[in-house]
Amino acid sequence: MAVSRSYDMNKLHKRLRRLAGQAIIDYGMIGDGDRVMVCLSGGKDSYTLLDILMSLQQNAPVRFELVAVNLDQKQPGFPEHVLPDYLEAQGVPYQILERDTYSVVKRLTPEGKTFCPVCSRLRRGALYEHARRIGATRIALGHHADDIVETLFLNLFYGARLAAMPPKLLSDDGRHVVIRPLAYCREKDIARWAEHRAFPIIPCNLCGSQEQLARVAVKEMLAGWDRSHPGRVQKIARALRNVQPSHLMDPSLFDFAGLEIEGAADSRPDAMVQLVNL
């Protein structure tokens, strides 16, 4: 039995490594000489991200540096010793940032509203500034395929936008490259790996206190699909890499107005402009 479990975990580790490595290659996430700041929250996803990147670092064809960074947001009861103890044991360079964003989030969030928008904005600003300070060329986040698909449906249902999380992006100010090496990995695999590795998980009491988040509803919907239609969520994730702008409805992505039989003259667009202006 123990041999079988060891075999299964070895296969799981290889799958996570392979998928993360493929995402890194496909999107040019890490290059020779990069200094990668791994944002470590204390959750299963960021622990797995650091774990897999450390594993890939050992035999990658390029040389890159890792530094783990945790933002201590001063939430009441936050166990400050857990991450330093773990990172010391792993022998990975790390830094702990102390910013009392908890009080700010509680003060700025109206009664009944979710904390996430304010919290994520403050957290992102602090991490971006620290990345600049330490000369990090990449900021690595632990979002996985399920997060990306959930964001797609959140934007679709609540924002009327067809958008998800990109595996690699340039920050709004153009000064930081953010990467998501776990973009091809499923959450259930990450959860199994985290359990196997016995990561010292630190729950987020701020977000966890709001059970009616829209993301929870979307997550439950996708979990139901996983049970009744295995493979559906993975297909949706793959569809995000197989987009056909000509089969959507965004005229900024495809020239529908100019789509005509070759050589044919057409005055309809001008006529319609006149009609709209009547």
The answer to whether 152 touches 164, Cβ cutoff 8 Å, is yes
Q: Which CATH code fits 2-245?
A: 3.40.50.620
Both tokens of 101, joined, read 């964003």
pTM, two decimal places: 0.88
* CA 240/CA 219 separation, integer angstroms: 18
Q: How far apart are CA 225 and CA 228, in angstroms?
A: 5
Asked if 19 contacts 185 with a C-beta cutoff of 8 angstroms, the reply is yes
| Selection from 73, 183, 89 nearest residue 121 by Cα | 73
Whole-Å CA distances, 120 to 54, 193, 264: 26, 26, 52
pLDDT of residue 209: 47
Residues of the chain short of pLDDT 50, as ranges, are 208-209, 211
**What is the residue extent of each domain of the chain?**
2-245
User: CA 99 to CA 54: how far, in whole Å?
Assistant: 27
**pLDDT for residue 76:** 79
pLDDT in tens, 85-109: 999 999 999 999 988 777 777 777 7
Task: Provide the pLDDT for residue 269.
Answer: 57
Q: Which amino acid is at 141?
A: L
CA distance 270 to 227: 52
- pLDDT (0 to 100) of residue 99: 81
Q: Which secondary-structure segment (H or E) carries 57?
A: helix 44-59
Please tell me whether residue 133 adopts helix, strand or coil conformation: helix
Q: Residue 101 has what pLDDT?
A: 74
